[in-house]
Amino acid sequence: AKQVLSNPSMGFLIVLFFFIIFSIANIYGTFAILGYKFYHFSDQQNGMLFGITGLVGATIQAGFIRTLSQKLNDKTIVLIGIFFMMIGLGFLPYGGNFTGVAFVISIMAVGSGILQPIIPSMISKYAPENQQGATLGFSQSISAFARVLGPLWGGFAYDAFGYQYPFLTGAFFTMVTFVAAFFLLKPDKAEAS
């Protein structure tokens, strides 16, 4: 871990990856409660929303991300992904009805679908060849840790502050990562070295 994080660009990418996964995981436990309690969605509607999220994310990862990668540098793609995720998370508690929530969660899924493959790809590019396995393993461990902490924070925010706050704090964390990435992330490996 120390060797991986000794490279500032690599360390920043891993921290960025942590906060992106953490922000998504924030809503794991509370999204269904939001649907049931505040929007009065049925089990079928909640299931459809999760299905929409998966379908949009898979569509982005299946082909759209490759097109983006051919036209834009990594930094721009990451900023686009974070922006979509931030907007989606921030507006989820205010969707109003099923159609509104489906639209907003689709925006979030576009961001997540962009970020989940691009950041590990960037981590792989930054890693020296003899450390790629260790680096990717470490980044996956960090993402697993974020998946544990995110729902814990989401549950705490829900109980302590109100039903909107798992989503709003997730949007806040992604906003912080957006600003940090804008100023600190290098466009590609060649410019970072």
- Report angle CA 27, 29, 35 to the nearest 5 degrees: 80
* 192 pLDDT more than 60: no
Residue type, 25: A
Q: What does the pLDDT average to over 153-158?
A: 94
Number of H helices, E strands in the chain: 10, 0
* 193 pLDDT more than 60: no
CA 179 to each of CA 16, 70, 156, 161: distance values in angstroms, whole numbers, following the listed order: 11, 24, 25, 25
Q: What percent of the chain has pLDDT over 90?
A: 57
What is the tens place of the pLDDT at every residue in 70-81?
A: 899 999 999 999
Per-residue pLDDT band at 178 (split at 50, 70, 90): very high
Rounded to whole angstroms, the Cα distance separating 76 from 130 reads 28
Residue 110 exposure: Cα atoms within 13 Å on the Cβ side:
15
State residue 166's pLDDT score: 94
* pTM for the structure as a whole: 0.89
State residue 128's pLDDT score: 77
Per-residue pLDDT band at 191 (split at 50, 70, 90): very low
Per-residue pLDDT band at 155 (split at 50, 70, 90): very high
State residue 6's pLDDT score: 66
Task: Return all residues near 143 (Cβ < 8 A) that are at least 6 apart.
Answer: 17, 18, 21
